[in-house]
Structure 1
Amino acid sequence: MAVYTKVSLEEAQALSRELGLGEASALRGIEGGIENTNYFMSTVEGEYVLTLFERLSFEQLPYYLYLMKHLAQRGIPVPDPVANRDGDVLHTVQGKPASVVTRLAGRSELAPGVAHGRAVGAMLARMHLAGRDFNRSQPNLRGLAWWNETVPVVKPYLDPPQAALLQSELAFQNHVAASSAYAALPRGPVHADLFRDNVMFDSGADGQAGPVLSGFFDFYFAGDDTWLFDLAVCLNDWCIDLATGATDAARTAAFLQAYESVRPLTGPERQLLPAMLRAGALRFWISRLWDFHLPRAADMLKAHDPSHFERVLRERVAHPLADIGQLAVCA
């Protein structure tokens, strides 16, 4: 959500009129993130987010936008893409693909507790089930094939111990992906990037005990993958100590129990959860190495620290997650 392309208020006004949103009155660049250009856009009809896609193509984007529309129609709180009079949700600004989606209420909780994890875990399971009948398909573009392509690119920037870890973990994940247990994992559309800064909580709701989850957003890493990988990505952010990368047992147990209250894990999922936690850490270590060592110029860009997910990966290798049943005493 850095600003790579500067959009004028006049350009935003032309788009908002085309979409039947009335006159745009304000446009403000959003700081954070690294992939796309994002603006908050205020119109007479309400608050929206304007996104210009800097890497994703016109051919790739319908999957993401129509997935969000599909989930919104099934009661999952996600940004709802705005269509033009022809029903299209993919637009063009300065020759680049663009979207306008509804802006979610609330704010992200960057220091989540057990209750926040429970809310996210249950909604993640609901989202997985809601996506089962989505009629489009697209692979996770940051999945195993991308890891195999990108590791040789970033490896020269690492010291020998780091390079050895990266190479050995990639070999391990290729081995896991070739197993019969992995082939049996349930699959469907996944968010694949549901970190704490991609979830909103609205503290203003009345009559609700505990945090109120108001939405999941930033679906532009979504794709078809195993639901277990999506769950692992969440556990690696919502349920760890950020300073060390170590597992927080109480938050992990609560998150898993909430997820399983909606969709119980299968036998192969329970078997491969430790491996998928390593996969989730590897995926984001690779991408952060790539963004850090091969950056693109952008206003407001702040590259993430790659060493964070190196620590998480080392923790997941050295201390595999305990049996899920044993975690119950921690919740």
Structure 2
Amino acid sequence: MAVFTAVSDDDARALLNRYNLGELVSLRGITAGIENTNFFLHTTRGEYVLTLFEVLTAEQLPFYIELMHHLAERGIPVPQPQTLKDGTRLTSLNGKPAAIVTRLPGGYEPAPGPDHCALAGATLARAHLAGQDFGIRQPNLRGLSWWESTTPQVLPFLDAGQAELLQATLAEQRTLAATPAWQGLPQGPGHCDLFRDNVLFAGTFESPRMGGFIDFYFAGWDTWLFDVAVSVNDWCIVRETGAFDLPCLHAWLKAYAGIRPFTDAERQAWPAMLRGAALRFWLSRLFDYHRPRPAQTLKPHDPRHFERVLRARQGQDLPQLP
């Protein structure tokens, strides 16, 4: 578990005094995540997740907390931030910003099939549309400007071929981001990190039911197509090669388009957007691997995985959007 800030049972009891969520039953660390400290929080009134934010600041956090609240209020299956006795939904614990949200049902599916992909795609489209009237605007903090600033920090760890791939992809993204066509793509608040381990399913493998989307703390205002590209680059691939699993990809995209049809401009941008989405996670994994922050237990993801995905997205002969 990535624990940057320890939390004792006494700490949790003191925190619960600020809410109307009952008494502490148990507190258990969540064995996932490399950005925040997370715990399952069981009280006499229900099951929750406690998050201490290690990177995001108290000034940045209202976007994420209020976005989840906004979506939950509109029927999107996401964690509902809990309101404190003083009427706010963000607090602090042991010197870090903190929040408590509802725990959603189900578990994540490590090997999703087409049915899982269709559920995820349709739910993301619903979330995009539900977020159109969200009142807080905050950019994707892991967008192009972050790619620009992070690249020099990881280049010393790359061989010549890797450096060429990274810099060429970054140059493509920089050029496209300056064009009117790119700037005019449909946009709004997006999850921006909708990997398979950030979606929970109830039911069975053969008959899955959507449990919900979790971990909104990389969310930001971006093109919706970027959110889709991030998702299918994880959900719909052969892990060993990074190539697309076509039945999963077609199911994902068809279900999304059934809720929010893609535009012609999005179809034109699709191949390059897939590369940008792969670059974003190759960069973050390179950074976490080569420049890790201290934690009690921290195992960064292998950055070579998204290098393979990016190499598999070269060229324009990629599966098209429906």
- Aligned partner of 1:314 in structure 2 is 311
Contact 1:31/1:301, CA 8 A, preserved across alignment? no
- Aligned partner of 2:208 in structure 1 is 211
Q: Residue 191 in 1 paired to residue 188 in 2?
A: no
- Aligned partner of 1:173 in structure 2 is 173
Secondary structure of the equivalent of 2:133? coil
Contact 1:109/1:196, CA 8 A, preserved across alignment? yes
Q: Supply the distance in 1 between the matched residues of 2:321 and 2:27 (Cα, whole angstroms).
A: 47
Secondary structure of the equivalent of 1:11? helix
Q: TM-score, normalised by structure 2?
A: 0.98
Deviation at 1:300, TM superposition (A): 3.0
Q: Residue 52 in 1 paired to residue 31 in 2?
A: no
Q: Supply the distance in 2 between the matched residues of 1:217 and 1:184 (Cα, whole angstroms).
A: 28
- Aligned partner of 2:73 in structure 1 is 73
Secondary structure of the equivalent of 2:49? strand
Deviation at 1:296, TM superposition (A): 1.1
- Aligned partner of 2:219 in structure 1 is 222
Q: Supply the distance in 1 between the matched residues of 2:129 and 2:274 (Cα, whole angstroms).
A: 21
Q: Residue 252 in 1 paired to residue 255 in 2?
A: no
- Aligned partner of 2:120 in structure 1 is 120
Contact 2:270/2:320, CA 8 A, preserved across alignment? no
- Aligned partner of 1:265 in structure 2 is 262
Q: TM-score, normalised by structure 1?
A: 0.95
Residues 17-56 of structure 1: matches in 2 within 5 Å? 17-56=17-56
Deviation at 1:210, TM superposition (A): 2.3
Contact 1:32/1:302, CA 8 A, preserved across alignment? no
- In structure 2, do the counterparts of structure 1 residues 319 and 274 end up closer, same or farther at CA, with 3 Å as the change threshold? closer
Deviation at 1:316, TM superposition (A): 0.3
Deviation at 1:322, TM superposition (A): 2.6
Q: Supply the distance in 2 between the matched residues of 1:220 and 1:316 (Cα, whole angstroms).
A: 26
- Aligned partner of 1:329 in structure 2 is none
Corresponding pairs, count: 322
Residues 126-205 of structure 1: matches in 2 within 5 Å? 126-203=126-203
Q: Supply the distance in 1 between the matched residues of 2:317 and 2:300 (Cα, whole angstroms).
A: 29
Q: Percent identity?
A: 58
Q: Residue 5 in 1 paired to residue 5 in 2?
A: yes
Contact 1:189/1:223, CA 8 A, preserved across alignment? yes
Name the Cα RMSD after superposition. Answer: 1.3
Q: Supply the distance in 2 between the matched residues of 1:150 and 1:121 (Cα, whole angstroms).
A: 30
Segments of structure 1 that go 5 or more residues without pairing to the other structure are 326-331
Secondary structure of the equivalent of 1:212? strand
Q: Supply the distance in 2 between the matched residues of 1:299 and 1:253 (Cα, whole angstroms).
A: 41
Residues 283-302 of structure 1: matches in 2 within 5 Å? 283-302=280-299
- Aligned partner of 1:328 in structure 2 is none
Secondary structure of the equivalent of 1:18? coil
Contact 1:41/1:50, CA 8 A, preserved across alignment? yes
Deviation at 1:142, TM superposition (A): 0.1
Q: Residue 64 in 1 paired to residue 61 in 2?
A: no
- Aligned partner of 1:105 in structure 2 is 105
Segments of structure 2 that go 5 or more residues without pairing to the other structure are none
Q: Supply the distance in 1 between the matched residues of 2:297 and 2:110 (Cα, whole angstroms).
A: 20
Code of the residue aligned with 1:233 in structure 2: it is V
Q: Supply the distance in 1 between the matched residues of 2:32 and 2:82 (Cα, whole angstroms).
A: 23
Q: Deviations over 1:267-294 (max 9, x none)?
A: 1111101111001000000000000000
Moved more, 106-115 or 78-87: 78-87
Q: Deviations over 1:175-197 (max 9, x none)?
A: 11112220220110000000000
Q: Supply the distance in 1 between the matched residues of 2:201 and 2:274 (Cα, whole angstroms).
A: 25
Contact 2:34/2:300, CA 8 A, preserved across alignment? yes
Secondary structure of the equivalent of 1:280? helix
Contact 2:262/2:321, CA 8 A, preserved across alignment? no
- Aligned partner of 2:273 in structure 1 is 276
Q: Deviations over 1:51-96 (max 9, x none)?
A: 0000100000000000000000000000000111221110110111
Q: Supply the distance in 1 between the matched residues of 2:54 and 2:317 (Cα, whole angstroms).
A: 37
Secondary structure of the equivalent of 1:155? helix
